[in-house]
Amino acid sequence: MIEVHDFHKAFAGHVAVKGVTFRVAPGELLAIIGPNGAGKTTTMRALSGIIPASQGRLAIAGNDVATEPIVAKSHLAFVPDDAPLFHDLTVEEHLSFYASVYRVSDAAGKVQRLLAEFELTGKLHTTASNLSRGMRQKLAICCAYLHDPKAILFDEPLTGLDPQGIRVFKRSLLERAAQGAAVMISSHMLAMVEDLCTHVLILDRGVQRFCGPVAQLRQAFDDVDADASLEEIFFAATSP
């Protein structure tokens, strides 16, 4: 559902990502982890078509992001850190706009279910500028889910969410994956990654250090114990 092959990205002579290759199948939750500047956000932005790849092929649901961008994006949802919302639009207007853009059938029913799930029903007529940081994040997630995308990308999605919001979000990830979506999440919250995700991609300074099932992580690094935590593996993989 998400395919990346030999992806490179350079900015003004600086190579941010070097030869990354991975796939995310329906039902899988892939965590992309690494230090700041590792290339995580760059990879997600390229997959979403925001920036072009310098080299390589990226595809969503079999559609090349570079040559079939509209079809690829129709199957995709991307929620970046601090998602850009329309400050003067209300919660209801945001969801109505997204439903129109993606031509969502039964939009009213889906909107009501999402509002209830993320506890936004009481904020229906509140503009984005008057929502808290956490409420804005919940709205962005609702907009992302509305068209039932086949591939969902989250970049640091827990920012601003309270404990209840985090619980609801985690449950929603598992539900979407169970329904056949391919989910990719970038997060520094390693405990959550270890608890939720089926696969892990570790990037360090633009280089892929590991990609595979969580169960194979410990076998991939000889210098970690058999019972090492993801945090210990992370430092073993990314230490100079």
* Successive 10-residue mean pLDDT values, the chain, 240 residues: 96 92 97 93 96 96 96 96 91 96 92 96 95 94 96 92 93 96 93 89 94 86 78 82
Q: Please give the pLDDT value at position 232.
A: 85
CATH number at residue 205: 3.40.50.300
Q: Looking at the structure, do residues 61 and 161 belong to the same domain, yes or no?
A: yes
Q: Looking at the structure, do residues 91 and 186 belong to the same domain, yes or no?
A: no
Distance separating alpha carbons of residues 111 and 99, to the nearest angstrom:
9
Residue 56 has, within 13 A of its CA and on its CB side, a CA count of 23
Domain end, chosen from 118, 148, 178, is at: 148
Q: Looking at the structure, do residues 102 and 61 belong to the same domain, yes or no?
A: no
Q: Looking at the structure, do residues 157 and 233 belong to the same domain, yes or no?
A: yes
Q: Please give the pLDDT value at position 234.
A: 87
CA-based torsion, 20, 21, 26, 31: positive or negative: negative
Q: Looking at the structure, do residues 70 and 187 belong to the same domain, yes or no?
A: yes
Domain that holds residue 190: 2-75+150-238
Q: Looking at the structure, do residues 127 and 165 belong to the same domain, yes or no?
A: no
Q: Looking at the structure, do residues 159 and 229 belong to the same domain, yes or no?
A: yes
Distance separating alpha carbons of residues 89 and 95, to the nearest angstrom:
10
Q: Please give the pLDDT value at position 149.
A: 96
Q: Looking at the structure, do residues 59 and 162 belong to the same domain, yes or no?
A: yes
Q: Please give the pLDDT value at position 119.
A: 94
Q: Looking at the structure, do residues 21 and 122 belong to the same domain, yes or no?
A: no
Q: Please state the domain count of the chain.
A: 2
Domain end, chosen from 148, 166, 182, is at: 148
Q: Looking at the structure, do residues 90 and 50 belong to the same domain, yes or no?
A: no
Distance separating alpha carbons of residues 237 and 62, to the nearest angstrom:
31
> Can you tell me whether residue 111 is helix, strand or coil?
helix
Q: Please give the pLDDT value at position 160.
A: 85
CA-based torsion, 207, 211, 217, 222: positive or negative: negative
Q: Looking at the structure, do residues 35 and 134 belong to the same domain, yes or no?
A: no
